[in-house]
A and B are shown apart, each in its own frame.
Chain A
Amino acid sequence: MKKNADPAWPDEVHALLQDADVRQVAIVPDAGHARLIQLCEKDKSMRVVRLTTEEEGVALLAGAWLGGEKGVLLMQSSGVGNCINMLTLPIACQFPLPMLVTMRGDHGEFNPAQIPMGNATQAVLEAMGVMVKRADSAADVPEMVSSTLRLAFNTYRPVALLIGQRVSGAKDFRKLTRSGPL
């Protein structure tokens, strides 16, 4: 497998969230966000809000902004599908909403069920009027996160950063099978 995973990017992203004064971190976990979630959970200036579905995060962060707090929404690309109608809120009311989306159904995917939503993620977001950016190497992630936060908070809109599957590496199901049950 191509060695592209740079373990430092979640730490850099966490520092960027701190710098941006992000207080609410809304999550449905993805393996690609595991370290970033850990860092946010340890950070007393941030509140991690675990969601049952990603659209809750879209509504949560509209409420946060109404009350003067900034937030960020972390999810995997399949969660984008759960958000579509709720995106009405940040679009119609111009709420800042940075979304950091780790891609599945992308580079080297093994699981057929990840393909339909992963392949449609960008088109679906853009159809709703969400600005979409991409980072396809670990080295690009911090700069693209910084740009996503600035676009969202300074220009009052939802902005999604799609973090490509090349960054965290495709999940190797065959290897996981060999090492025991999931």
Chain B
Amino acid sequence: MSGLLRRREVVSELLAPRGDALVIAGLGAPAWDITNAGDHELNFPLWGAMGGAAMIGLGLALAQPKKKVLVFTGDGEMLMGLGALATIAVQAPRNLYIVVLDNERYGETGMQETHTAHGVDLAGMARAAGFAQTLVVRTESGVSRLKKAIYAGEGTLFAQIKVDPQKLPLVLPPRDGCLLKNRFRAAVLGPQAAQQ
């Protein structure tokens, strides 16, 4: 055992008190992780659009300011859209929480090392961009603190969780984008979703 946090346990713990929180997941393992915690109509897991997860979270957070928006994504996915950190920090929505599951690898494509394996400090980049809160999580107690920061506190928050580069069986969400979008909108907006 590496002593590193295990991603599926971390994601399940962070989602346990989700209530009406809206959840986006970056493509690949983070999408499998949120699905493993329980497929949900308020989940929008991505099957592509690498680099876009945090920005989808921003558009959603601005549109639904009373709901918490959680974005789970990978270090590789976040690195592809680093400019989003600047864009989000300028908008600074209080209901947006970005959680990077940092295994220091491109897990989905064969565990090649990412930049975070070579010293790139993602949380530091978010801090420099102007995020109100940034944290690096390496322990169980860190996960508990993060959970409290999400559900009892305000964003804009960026958390980088160092996780074990485990290879895990896939847990697939539906992959029809229209189905995912329509059930999400119906759950958020009610019958009005079909009238917009």
Chain A residues with a Cβ under 8 A of chain B: 23-24, 47, 49-53, 55-71, 85-86, 88-89, 92-95
Contact = CB atoms under 8 A, between A and B. Distances in A.
A64 B59 contact: yes
A66 B90 contact: no
A61 B86 contact: no
Contacts of B46: 89
Given A64-B59, A93-B177, A52 B44 contact: no
Among B49, B91, B189, residue most surrounded by chain A Cβ atoms (within 10 Å) = B49
A93 B62 contact: no
B48 A66 contact: no
24 contacts: A24-B62, A49-B87, A51-B83, A55-B52, A56-B87, A57-B55, A59-B49, A59-B56, A59-B81, A60-B58, A62-B52, A64-B59, A64-B60, A66-B59, A66-B63, A66-B181, A67-B60, A67-B61, A68-B185, A68-B192, A68-B196, A69-B59, A85-B48, A88-B49
B84 A92 contact: no
B74 interface: no
A70 B51 CA distance: 22
Interface of B: 22, 24, 44, 46-53, 55-64, 81, 83-84, 86-87, 90-91, 177-178, 180-181, 184-185, 188-189, 192-193, 196
Nearest to A51: B87
B177 to A, nearest CB: 3
Given A68-B64, A69-B62, A93-B178, A63 B83 contact: no
Contacts of B64: 67-68
A63 B24 contact: yes
Interface residue SS majority, chain B = helix
Contacts of B51: 55, 59, 86
Contacts of B84: 52, 56, 59
Given A71-B59, A94-B177, A56 B189 contact: no
Contacts, number: 124
B63 A67 contact: yes
A64 B62 contact: yes
B50 to A, nearest CB: 7
A93 B181 contact: yes
Contacts of B55: 56-57, 59-60, 63
Interface residue SS majority, chain A = helix
B62 A66 contact: no
A60 B181 contact: no
Contacts of B48: 85, 88-89, 92
Among A57, A59, A69, A92, residue most surrounded by chain B Cβ atoms (within 10 Å) = A59
Nearest to A153: B196
A52 B56 contact: no
The 9 closest A-B pairs by CB, nearest first: A63-B59, A67-B63, A52-B83, A93-B177, A59-B52, A59-B55, A69-B63, A63-B56, A63-B60
B196 to A, nearest CB: 6
B179 to A, nearest CB: 9
Given A56-B52, A63-B56, A66-B60, 12 more contacts: A24-B59, A24-B63, A51-B83, A59-B49, A59-B56, A60-B58, A63-B55, A63-B63, A66-B188, A69-B59, A69-B63, A93-B178
A131 to B, nearest CB: 17
Contacts of A71: 59
B178 A68 contact: no
